[in-house]
Structure 1
Amino acid sequence: MAQASGPRPGLGSVVKRHVRWLRRSPMPVRDAAQVGFALVFRRRGHLVASTVRYRGARRVVHDGPFYFGILCNRLFHAPGDRGALLIHDAGTLVIGADVKIAASARITVGGHLAIGSHTRINHGAKILANTVVTIGEGVAMGPECLILDDDLHDLTVAGVPRTKRAAITVADRVWIGSRCTLLKGTEIGEGSIIAAGSVVTGVIPAGVVAGGSPARVLATAASWTP
């Protein structure tokens, strides 16, 4: 028989533990202040976010602190940038450890979104996951990228209805350049690099450089260092 769990620690003890951690941390004072603010004023069990409007965060499953709007690359950051995290009733968001998403990113989950550990999503990114969007570990996403697994409109061509939604998969250690668009059905293989401004609509193999609209393989045997 499973043993009954003990009482959950009070908010005061949780805050004190985090304050001790912040004092030992080498992070800059500004980041420490933001984290401290978020830890004190967030609802218990929610993500760590001090600059983000969010709803439905109780449906977030995470292996560690999920940083949204703090502790991230401030490239193109503007004062007052605010992002949004909206998880609908049927939606789920699964987060690995040490995931950092910039302040102005906007994420809407009506289906399932999974983001692997150590992934970085930069400013202005927009993600819509109405079916299944999987982003692997160690992925780097540049500013103003767009991921859409749903066309949001029905389309018929020559009397034949087109598929409206399809899953998107980004494997581990993929580098997505700024202002890229990933549309429904996209699959990007491990370690690949997507050139800035590309539109990806199909399958990109592992270890290549791809670019263009629609994206195609430009070089093979490629690698990059985070």
Structure 2
Amino acid sequence: MVAAFRSDLREYVRHVRALRAARETSARAFVAGLRYPLAHRQPIWIGSPTVIEGRERIEFTDGAALRVGMGAFGLSTKRDTSIIRVHPEGRLRCEGVVSLQRGVRVVVDSGVLELAPGANVNGFAKILVRERVSIGAYCNVSWNTQLLDNDFHPMVVDGVEQPMSGPIILEDRAWIGTGSIVLKGVTVGESAVVAAGSVVTRDVPPKAVVAGSPAKVVGHIDSWR
């Protein structure tokens, strides 16, 4: 118990320092960021205006934490609000220290959103979950992207009704470029790169570079940082 308390206290001190270092953190967000983990007994560190609905449906493995809007990035400002909604049939599962940047919109209607250690979702990204969205370790989802695992309405093709939803899997270290859209039933392979503005409708092989609408393989990559 003592060791756990000391670990939590050290994390809280780091959080306070991060808030102080974020130059564009408003006074209101600063106070909210200090109060939230104490009031709700959850490792959720808030650095900018944030709306969280269904916090009791956010799950954490040992040592996990959710960082929301901890610093200005790109075009974001201290006024940009992040929204996280987890409805009664949904779950948001944090499996390590993960980051959602300012202005994100995350809605888990049902199913589960899984965030692996080091996963980072940048500002103004939108994630809508009906079945499953899994973001692997050290994935980078760039700003103004969309991950949509459902069509929101039924479709009939050649007399056959199509599935409305399908899981989206981003394997470890996948990089989704700014303005891209990843649609239902897609797996983006390990260390693959989706170029800016792409629409991904099919699986992406590991270490492939895809671009366009619909996205097609245009090259391969050894690694990215």
TM-score for both structures, normalised by structure 1: 0.84
Matches within 5 A, 1:2-17: none
For 1:124, give the aligned amino acid: F
Q: CA RMSD in A?
A: 3.0
Aligned positions of 1:38-187 closer than 5 A: 38-41=33-36, 43-46=39-42, 47-49=44-46, 50-62=48-60, 63-71=63-71, 74-109=73-108, 110-187=110-187
Structure having the higher strand fraction is 2
TM-score, structure 2 as length reference: 0.84
What amino acid is the match of 1:86? Answer: R
Aligned-pair distance for 1:157?
Answer: 2.1
Which deviates more from structure 2 when the two are superposed, residues 36-45 or residues 199-208? 36-45
Identity of aligned residues (%): 28
Cα offset for 1:23?
Answer: 7.0
**Separation of aligned partners in 2, 1:41 and 1:207:** 39
Query: Tell me, what secondary structure is at the counterpart of 1:39?
Result: helix
1:4-44 Cα offsets, whole Å, 9 max, x none, are x99x98xxx9997666445777972646x856641324532
Shift of 1:64: 2.5
Give the superposition deviation at 1:212: 0.9
The CA distance in 1 between the partners of 2:156 and 2:78, in whole Å, is 43
Please list every run of at least 4 consecutive aligned residues from structure 1 whose deviation after the TM superposition is greater than 3 angstroms.
13-27, 33-37
Residues 87, 202 of structure 1: alpha-carbon distance in 2 compared, 3 angstrom cutoff? same
Q: CA 1:173–1:18 in structure 2 vs 1: closer, same or farther (change >3 Å)?
A: closer
Aligned length: 216
Structure 1 position 48, deviation (Å): 2.1
- List gaps (5 residues or longer) in structure 2: none
Q: Give, as a single letter, the amino acid of the residue that structure 1 aligns with 2:132.
A: V
> Secondary structure, in 3 states, of the residue corresponding to 1:91?
strand
Aligned-partner SS, 2:56: helix
3-state SS in 1 of match to 2:89: coil
Aligned partners of 1:121, 1:19: CA distance in 2, in Å? Answer: 22
1:203 aligned partner, one-letter code: D
From the superposition, tell whether residues 144 and 29 of structure 1 become closer, same or farther in structure 2 (CA, over 3 Å).
Answer: closer
Are the counterparts in 1 of residues 36 and 45 from structure 2 also a CA contact under 8 Å? no
CA–CA distance in 2 between the matches of 1:134 and 1:152? 19
